[in-house]
Amino acid sequence: MKYCTCIAACLIAFASFSQVPTKIEEEISFPKKPKLVIGIVIDQMRYDYIYRFWDKYGKNGFKRLVNEGFFCKNTNFNYVPTYTGPGHASIFTGTTPAIHGIIANDWFDKENLKKLYCVGDINVNGLGTNESEGKRSPVNMLTTTITDELRISSNMKSKVFGVALKDRSAILPAGHVANAAYWYDGSIGSFISSTYYMKELPLWVNEFNKKELAKKYLMEPWNTLLPIEQYTESLPDDNKYEFIAKGETKPVFPHNLPELLRANGGLNLIRTVPFGNTLTKDFAIEIIKNENLGKSSETDFLTISFSSPDYIGHAYGPNSVEQEDDYIRLDNEIADFLNFLDAYIGKNNVLLFLTADHAAPEVPAYLIDLKIPAGYVNEGKILRNLKSYLFANYADSLVLSYSNQQVFLNRKLIALKKLDLKKVQEDAALYLQNLDGIAEVTTSTALNNTSFSEGSRNLIQKGFNAKRSGDVMVNYLPAWVDFHKTGTTHGSPYSYDTHVPLIFYGWNIKKGSTADQIYITDIAATLALMLNIQFPNGSIGVPISHLVK
Ligand SMILES: [Zn+2]
């Protein structure tokens, strides 16, 4: 009653402003809190894919999100490297690798002198698999996620799940206290998990796996959804910038999946075709139904990451008919998923956001042919040359690793030889600075002693974790990569890698858009204010003012 009286009073008071009553009515049509939050991450989505393929999309997928939701058109990653592990961690922790510690997908572990995988955990075992793919957990992530904070704030009554084909894309978003994260094991074609979360897989997961959907989706050739002559946004299907799969002689449609399955073996093939997105969506819907998400008085949270666009981008690049078809089909999956949510719980009870873990450049070889500066570096060669250079000066190579564009020096040896670490770092930096394809070089000493407020050094600093990162950080020139000449890769501080879509939709979201600069770390802070819960404990984000007014 109190509410009604208040609204009536407001309506009378503002009767002369015709816009105001509509606004108030809109606001009260939403429940007090969302029943379910859905965080969708698309692996390797450039923001321009919204526009480039707009005319090919149906009404109910990306177009529905843009037309009914709030589109932050100028959303960027604010650190390097723009890879999948750091990307998913940063979206959900609201901070950058400097603080959450996921400095790459895998990195040289200075303590144990070997590679460490971002979600590798030798202390847990796989569930549903005997492979090492099961030994996974979020243990290497140093801060809480928005999903952790939701669980803590509800005294663990809110349920949190994560799913993706890639383990890191399921595990990092779901956080440390998730009910479960599920990822795909291509050796058996099943969704698996680990003992970090539970003792055994739920019955419904086993039932889902028994359907062998991955195998079924690979039984027919991959053909374009629309007649191929309509893919006018992309390069011709047969072009030299695309990867040729084992079992094929040209990178063209139709891709004979049963034949490729025979030639390549293993159901990992599903990752590199759009049906990997179908499988992910299928499993996401099963989580919602079987775990009764959104059906209690507490807000639940499901994170979904679509991994296939990244595999397809790496193989064929952003200008391929393959990637265009992948997005047209992904649009259908999103439409399906939104339809499911309408029927299951209703749009106004779901707060959904969609973004990406990084974007991607054009294939550099294609840019070179267009006379646009671009190029290829060879990191193996950079490492060898740097080692010989330091050997000539110090009678020892002094380098343990060059990985993720970071040089890891042998600090023990440097101390033993009583060398000046700062001087060795600077020598290495000066040498690297002169190599082809290298734009700039920064040392850990500089990063520890100086605060860079803008430019790529600022992004390098936000990606620099004082404990885990290397001694010398290298940034390549725009469109220079260490990769083969077909397909593309990502990881740089440049706009083509950092600029991603961000759309909020559903509960309490009014239609609109902004061109304001939004950083990827702002998402978690925005969600925290919307849900009236604590920010993740390493958060550096600023809530998006349009959404939390
Ligand atoms: Zn990738």
* pLDDT tens-digit readout, 217-275: 999 999 999 999 999 999 999 999 999 999 999 999 999 999 999 998 789 999 999 99
Summarize pLDDT for 497-533 with one digit per residue, the tens.
999 999 999 999 999 999 999 999 999 999 999 999 9
Q: Is the pLDDT of residue 4 over 80?
A: no
128 within 8 A of 206, measured Cβ to Cβ: yes
Q: What is the pLDDT of residue 265?
A: 77
Q: 153 CA distance to ligand 1 centroid (A)?
A: 34
Q: What is the pLDDT of residue 5?
A: 39
Task: Report percent pLDDT > 70 for the chain.
Answer: 95
Q: 6 CA distance to ligand 1 centroid (A)?
A: 53
Q: What is the pLDDT of residue 395?
A: 86
Q: 9 CA distance to ligand 1 centroid (A)?
A: 55
303 carries an active-site annotation: no
pTM of the model: 0.94
Q: 496 CA distance to ligand 1 centroid (A)?
A: 13
Q: For the chain, what's the residue count? A: 549
Q: Could you tell me the pLDDT band of residue 143, with boundaries at 50, 70 and 90?
A: very high
Task: Report percent pLDDT > 90 for the chain.
Answer: 92
Q: What is the pLDDT of residue 280?
A: 98
451 within 8 A of 339, measured Cβ to Cβ: no
Residue among 5, 22, 75, 84 flagged as catalytic: 84
Q: What is the pLDDT of residue 509?
A: 97
CA 438 to chain centre: 26
CA pair distance 452, 346, nearest whole angstrom: 46
Q: 10 CA distance to ligand 1 centroid (A)?
A: 52
Q: What is the pLDDT of residue 17?
A: 41
52 three-state secondary structure: helix
Q: Could you tell me the pLDDT band of residue 16, with boundaries at 50, 70 and 90?
A: very low
Q: Is the pLDDT of residue 150 over 80?
A: yes
**What are the φ and ψ backbone dihedral angles of 50, each rounded to 5 degrees?**
-60, -45
Residue 295's region, left for phi above 0, alpha for psi from -120 to 50, else beta, is: alpha
464 within 8 A of 444, measured Cβ to Cβ: yes
Q: Is the pLDDT of residue 10 over 80?
A: no
CA pair distance 441, 8, nearest whole angstrom: 64
Q: 441 CA distance to ligand 1 centroid (A)?
A: 24
Q: Which residue has the higher pLDDT, 241 or 14?
A: 241
H or E segment to which residue 187 belongs: none
Q: 443 CA distance to ligand 1 centroid (A)?
A: 26
CA pair distance 164, 177, nearest whole angstrom: 18
**CA R_g for the chain:** 24
CA angle, 35 as apex, 32 and 40 as ends, to 5°? 120
Q: What is the pLDDT of residue 31?
A: 82
Q: What is the pLDDT of residue 11?
A: 41
Summarize pLDDT for 315-342 with one digit per residue, the tens.
999 999 999 999 999 999 999 999 999 9
Give the residue-averaged pLDDT of 359-388.
Answer: 97
Residue bearing tokens 């894919």? 49
Q: Is the pLDDT of residue 166 over 60?
A: yes
Average pLDDT over the chain, rounded to an integer:
94
Please give the single-letter amino acid code of residue 264: N
Q: What is the pLDDT of residue 330?
A: 98
Is the bond preceding residue 318 a cis peptide, omega within 30 degrees?
Answer: no
Q: 424 CA distance to ligand 1 centroid (A)?
A: 33
User: Interhelix angle for 84-93 vs 522-531, to 10°?
Assistant: 30
Give the residue-averaged pLDDT of 283-299.
Answer: 98
Q: Is the pLDDT of residue 18 over 50?
A: no
Which residue(s) pair with 76 in the sheet? 499, 519
Tokens of 271: 């990752």
Q: What is the pLDDT of residue 205?
A: 98
47 within 8 A of 500, measured Cβ to Cβ: yes
